[in-house]
């Protein structure tokens, strides 16, 4: 879990100034939902994005 927070800080929040807490919250939610959970490659998944890993897993299960 520590690597997630490190990634969040390095890739999103460093050098950013948000007008309100709501803007910061929206940016973090967008980062998690769109980038981190769908597109970002993860070492535990063989450096695949979660989306690609899930598709590969489905194809292997169907075969």
Report helix, strand or coil for 22: helix
pLDDT over 70, % of the chain: 97
At 26 the pLDDT is 94
Kind and range of the H or E element at 24?
A: helix 21-30
Mean pLDDT, rounded, for 6-22:
86
pLDDT band at 2 (very low <50, low <70, confident <90, very high): low
pTM over 0.75: no
| 33 neighbors 50 (Cβ within 8 angstroms) | no
Q: What residue numbers bound the domain in which 16 lies?
A: 2-62
List all residues 6 or more positions away from 30 whose beta carbon is below 8 Å from its beta carbon.
none
Q: What is the pLDDT of residues 28-56, one digit of tens each?
A: 998 888 877 777 787 888 888 888 898 89
Give the chain's domain count: 1
CA distance 14 to 38: 22
């Amino acid at each position: 879990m520590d690597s997630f927070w490190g990634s969040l800080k390095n890739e999103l929040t460093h050098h950013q100034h948000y007008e309100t807490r709501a803007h910061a919250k929206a940016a973090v939610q967008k980062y998690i939902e769109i980038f981190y959970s769908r597109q970002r490659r993860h070492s535990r998944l063989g450096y695949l994005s979660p989306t690609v890993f899930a598709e590969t897993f489905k194809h292997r299960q169907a075969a």
